[in-house]
Structure 1
């Protein structure tokens, strides 16, 4: 998948008025996720993504320990969004990423995160139920 296609999907799914906001939301989610994951896991998750997108996972200081509430707060600050929107951004971006990486990678990500991160995978889980 190409970068423009990826961002177009983010923009469409989040119903954002422009690509710039889609980039900001994607960067906020993936940079924050990259901070939370161990370095090797962030790199593995980034591998199948467009280079311009996988960069967001690499720029972070990985291996930090913070809960889901802090995750949403960091995304909100970086995306210049309220907390409800930031939580939704996380679900949508992680859901889209999960469509482009092997299922085992997403499971490894989930295994690294505490139980309070379950909301991050809500959209992905809902799609599995529908199938």
Structure 2
């Protein structure tokens, strides 16, 4: 998936007012996701993204353990929004990310995340519905 297509889909899902806001939200989510994923997995995700979107994933220190509250707080700080909006934006970015990655990689990402964060991914929501 190309950069413009990714950002356009995020904007459509989030209904953010402009591409700049969608870009900021996308970068905030990808950076925070990279902090939560193990380093090798974050690298595999970055490899399947356009270079402009891969860079936020490569510029962070991976492998931290934190929950949805911390995840949302970090996104909110980076995207200059509140935590409720950050969760909605994260769900949108992760939905577009799901479409950009191979299904196998998406499943690995979901498995590496705690349920509260993984539930934002389409594959994570499906797993919750099956429980």
Taking structure 1 as the reference length, the TM-score comes to 0.89
Q: 2:66 corresponds to which residue? A: 66
In structure 1, stretches of 5+ residues that fail to align are none
Choose 90-99 or 112-121, whichever is displaced more: 112-121
What is the 5 A alignment of 1:1-131?
Answer: 1-121=1-121, 125=125
Distance 1:104 1:75 in 2: 25
Deviation at 1:54, TM superposition (A): 1.2
- Write out the 4+ residue segments of structure 1 that deviate beyond 6 Å after TM superposition: none
Q: What RMSD over aligned residues (CA atoms) do the two structures have, in Å?
A: 1.8
Which piece of structure 1 moves more, 40-49 or 116-125?
Answer: 116-125
Equivalenced residue count is: 127
Note the C-alpha offset of 1:116.
Answer: 2.4
Secondary structure of 2:98's partner? helix
Mean alpha-carbon deviation: is it higher for 81-90 or for 107-116?
Answer: 107-116
**TM-score normalised to the size of structure 2?**
0.89
Secondary structure of the structure 2 residue equivalent to 1:120: coil
d(CA) in 2 for partners of 1:84, 1:58: 26
Distance 2:124 2:116 in 1: 16
Alignment deviations for residues 13-42 of structure 1 (CA, whole Å, 9 cap, x no partner): 111111110110001100000001111100
